[in-house]
Structure 1
Amino acid sequence: MIFRTKNGALTLSSNLFKTLTSFLNSSPFSSIPKPNFSTPRRPASLIVPPPPPTTTTSRTVSSSDFNTICSLLISSQPHQTTTNIDDLLKGFEEKLNSNLVLQILMNYRQLGRIKTLEFFAWAGMQMGFQFDDCVVEYMADFLGRRKLFDDIKCLLVTVFLHKGRVSCRTFSICIRFLGRQGRVREALCLFQEMESQFRCKPDNLVYNNMLYVLCKKERSEELIDFALMIFRRIELPDTYSYSNILVGLCKFGRFETALDVFGEMGRAGLVPTRSAVNFLIGQLCSLSAKEGAVEKVRVKDAHRPFTILVPNVGANSGAVQPAVAVFWAVHEMGLLPSTFVIKQLISELCRLGKMEEAVKLLKLVEGRKLSCVEEGYSIVIQALCEHRLVEEASHLFGRMLSQGMKPKLVIYNSVISMLCKLGNLDDAKRVFEIMNKKRCLPDNFTYSALILAYGEARNWEDAYGLLIEMLGLGLSPHFHTYSLVDKLLRDNAKLDLLFKLERKLDSQILQKLCKAGELGAAYEKLKSLLEKGFYPPVYIKDAFEHAFKKSGKLKMARELLQKIDNDCKPDETEIRSSE
């Protein structure tokens, strides 16, 4: 790695350039001011044109030279000194060129990291670091992937001091790798010294990678203004320039500026990346979702601090409209956001009651045959049912069935609940029958909505039938649901059915207690049933016996089981005599 001493001199302790110390100390370029990566400065206003590229004469790479050098390096001992490498590769100095060096470097899997770096240092000394751009770029990528950032800095300094060319692509590689590791300040410092110290004017690739680091990797908001300034310095921003700054502006809540930049991009005839569109629309939907949300605010000025709930309104009003505008704008450009973002936008439109726009969006999704069609139908139908728009909900529900889709339970429940609340019991019953034909099992919500609706209509027969069916499926009715049916049966003097309903419910409760392993509660429940003269069915008795036997407490249950057997025998005799 490269360090700067108190007197400003550079000392080298890098694996890559440890063999170059004596060479650099005697170099005529050692008096040139070295770049400083430690303290960031503002970019120089004076743009120095880069020197003309200096490339070695391209020669055809001899496979024999390549194979011989690789074989010698592989067979040599690790950590060879410079003198040993000179002796090892003696006679190959005149055969070196950028193409040969690049091919040997690309054979790093056989050479290993240490020998690859030692060969590059030796080849650089032989060629005066007058490599083609591809060699320096490859080494920058090689070091960056291994997180050898001090070696990267040493590479740039060494090539520059020997009047070698450091290309814009090399700088962009270094900046991107630094940013990926969260070393944003170092990346920014390298970008700032690119012109002033290395005399290399940034191109779009460098600008884009710097914007990528500042907008996507930087976590604090303090550098977003600097990123915007860098963006304005680009003469001809491209798709990635606009996309990176869009993400950064949305990330730190600069939505108005982001929408202005998006408009500029459209006027320039450029299409943003899909990730930038996803981020822009997603953040706008999230901002809109905060409308009307309640936030906790701590009041500390009072004698006793307390917390109040404050609605978050006003500032975020209408945030969903720009999201819709961005969606249709990119749609005209031939681009659509991800299915997740589309569902997020549809959900937000439904939450705000903008059903026409949500349905329009759903039709587009259906036309494009996207994977989120069924989920989109589910979101919109639920919203239509909540707003009790019967015709629209019924139309979409029928269309969903005609297209061969399988509505989920939540859709059936929404439609049935809406119809029940409006008193359309025939339509609700028809949807319930369709639900059974489609083999979608109803749940407590389904049965409760229908039973309550039939209860309000004083239809005890259908209410009782549905409750019995509900208990047969092992579902537990809500207290109000059961009380309603109980009252209907008493009002209509159906005491026999009431008695049957009570036995059915008690049997189910006892079975659930046995399955849950609550043996004490199960014992007390069965005991109370027997005291009332209720005898559970055979399958409930077996479940009770199995639960106690499994836990090793069968002796405790013997008394109740024996009582059931004894009490049931007279009943069977009476039944035979009655026959």
Structure 2
Amino acid sequence: MAASTGLRRLLLRSSTLRRFSSAAILNPADPADPAAPLTGKQKSRAAISLIKSEKEPERIVEICNAAALTPECHLDRIAFSLAISKLAAAKSFVAVRSFLDDLLSSRPDLQNERFRAHAIVLFGQAGMIDDAVRVFKSCGETTVKTLNALLFACVLAKKHDEVGRIFREFPKTYGIAPNLETYNTVIKSFCESGTSRSVYSILDEMGRKGIKPNMTSYSTLLAGFYQEEKFEDVGKVLEIMKKNDCPPGLSTYNVRIQSLCKLKRPAEAKALLEGMVQRGMKPNAATYHHLIHGFCKDGDLEEAKRLFAEMSRKGCVPDSSCYFTLIYYLCQAGDFETALSVCKESMEKNWVPCFSTMKALVDGLAKNSKLDEAREIVEKLKERFSKNSEMWKEVEESLA
């Protein structure tokens, strides 16, 4: 109650101090009672909206404190991450340290293993590994959860040498037995740092300790070898998977297809799709999105359109990513008529591409003398997003 009331006061005050449009962001649960407390989701969404629009570090921290964020709530975790990203981007590392240390010491509800682990990750997100290590060491009882958080913090900060050091030293020093998540984080680090072959020794160690790699372990390693274009090793990993009774599933195929598309080898990726279908495996929307994106980037829009059409015929419903990717690249290629058709279908499903893509579509239609279609799109967007109608004022004037 006190936290939501405090946030309400902050939001109302912010509307006069800064251009937050707080009244639009924050509507009370009962309009007849402006003093009514916010629901948890209202509070979280209001905080996220304000953090996005705020530039001053002190105000970002003030918003977070007023919202009484907690890692128990998914929206609050988003707010935490957004706040730390903005503070780090502004190089306000003192503010990051002060904010997180204050939460760790002054909020009784956050003095637990879960938030300590979360704080360690947030320090990593800010690139402040010394502080992440400090929080780990200050824990009354170090656990595998906080160790895993520290390793992941190093991965986020791209401090891959630190991952190796901590993995070698800390389990012995603090009497912690690494678990599957520990090993998967180390595998991720090796693969992201371009040293995927080092993972073979990790797999050997896991075998000695009776820890069986899972699909995440293998998928991460496959992506690493593809990134380094070590195709022989891809084959070796697939053999290891068979040997360990872990046959490639849909997620494995999706990783391989996405990796080949990133390497601008969409034809090979498509061959994998055909192979998985022959084996009786059904692709999902992510499979097709990787391929559509791959062929679009390779300049083969005809194949991308064919795959998009194939999805529905084969009972695989396109998701928003499929629509947005295809619309974007169709606009880039100047095929505004097809882009308009795909966009209308997307909007019927309540999926609207970002402003820049929609503006490119409207501008393209106008240049191709399709003013009525362009105006229709703008009207639909203004109706759908009435709060942002001002964004389309200049575009509308150009269509007059």
What TM bracket, shorter-length normalisation?
Answer: 0.3 to 0.5
**TM-score when normalising by structure 1:** 0.34
* Higher normalized helix content (fraction of residues): 2
Q: Which has the larger radius of gyration?
A: 1
